[in-house]
Amino acid sequence: MEEFKSSGNFNRDRLDEAVQSAQLLLSHASEKGMDVEKEIIETLVQSKHLHETGSWNPETETEFWLAFNAMTRAVKPVTIAGIRASMPMPVRPTFWHKIFHIKAGLHTSLARKAVRKYTWWGLFWVVVMLIIQVYSLIGSTLVDNIHETEAKFNQLVEEQNVLAQVDSDSKKAIIDQQKLGEEINARAVEIVSTTELLVQWQKPVYELALVDTSFYNLSALQETSDDLFAPAISREKIDTLKRVEQVAKYPILIMQRYILPLLYGLLGAYAFVLRKLTEETRHLTYTLESDIKYFLRIVLGAIAGLIIGFFFVSNDTPAGLSMASLSPLTLAFLGGYSVEFLFTVIDRAISTLTQQTENKKDTND
């Protein structure tokens, strides 16, 4: 048999890699109990020995490539890259390994690294989302409490005015006026204390944004009880309360309209990636190139959540976890999870709008 040698280092390296890959596929097919023709197995086994002895000739190399191609098709969707990515790779011995006779271990497989990376990043963004969600909920709850207490306060003041117009010196009327006054004062205390909490709630946001909050007349909120509650809240104090409440709406709106939808879209994308990783690691179809599509998927998920938040969250939504605000956040998560569906809808809407514009233009012409 005439000895055949491939020309060039590149061809030899490629053939060497192909023989090793064929053995990996053969080992995988045997472990999984796949049906492979006996002729293919015999050809691959013989090719391994021919390669070790350097006894290739054109006919045997041709038979090897045909068998290799058949084996590749037999184990689909598993690929060589997927098998290699799931295998722990040996650590290359360093100088210190040789000096201290330390046994070099194995690197964690690429698939396991990917699972670990996306899992930890997903958990990190879950924690960030929960912190912002809880923070937004506290602020919106304080604003809602102020609104409810103010409504009750104004109602009591009106009742007090009506009662004051009744000219009566009876003991019952005096007791009723005293009770109303006490209740009005209690509501005033509640409004002021809630507003002070709202001021404290705002501090982290504005300190992070390097915004000076000295425009608040906080001294008006720290008056003595006698000045505060008789006969009602002073005009200066009311102005301060309204200013605090108005300024607090901006970070709540930003979190509801931009930050939380973006994070929910991001989490939806991470959920999709982790689910796909579960399938790919089980079927040995994960490859290093998968990271590219997963990275793009996560970016698109965040953009999808931001788009949904921009179009579906109302500017007037006051509460961070009300039903009105939960619906867009749910849509943001679903948009991040199913990016294709969202952008398909957008493409169809644009296509329909473009077609209608063209038809209208043709009609006018």
CA atoms within 13 A on the CB side of 242: 7
Q: DSSP of 18-59, one letter per residue?
A: HHHHHHHHHHHHHHHT----HHHHHHHHHHHHHHHHT---HH
* Residue 109: closest CA among 287, 283, 279: 287
Pick the residue with more confidence: 167 or 13? 13
Q: Give the rounded percent of residues in the chain with a pLDDT score beyond 90.
A: 9
* Residue 267: closest CA among 164, 141, 123, 64: 123
Residue 125, pLDDT score: 93
- Distinct helix (H) and strand (E) counts, the chain: 13, 0
CA distance 306 to 312: 10
Cβ-contact 160, 181 below 8 angstroms: yes
Q: Which two tokens stand for residue 237?
A: 């104090």
Residue 317 pLDDT exceeds 60:
no
Name, of 7-11, 214-218, 228-232, the range with top average pLDDT.
214-218
pLDDT bracket for residue 219 (50, 70, 90) = low
pLDDT bracket for residue 267 (50, 70, 90) = very high
* Bridge partner list, 90: 106
Residue 209, pLDDT score: 60
CA distance 49 to 114: 36
CA distance 25 to 71: 7
Residue 218, pLDDT score: 54
Cβ-contact 181, 153 below 8 angstroms: no
> Which three-class secondary structure state does DSSP give residue 101?
coil
Q: Which residue has the tokens 């924690």?
A: 127
In the chain, where are the structural domains located? 8-76, 124-253, 257-359
Cβ-contact 117, 105 below 8 angstroms: no
Q: What backbone torsions phi and psi does residue 212 show, to the nearest 5 degrees? A: -80, 125
Q: Model-level pTM?
A: 0.72
CA atoms within 13 A on the CB side of 320: 25
- Helix, strand and coil content of the chain, in percent to the nearest 5, comes to 80, 0, 20
Residue 270, pLDDT score: 92
Q: Which two tokens stand for residue 89?
A: 């790779």
User: Which of these ranges, 112-121, 259-268, 316-325, has the smallest mean pLDDT?
Assistant: 316-325
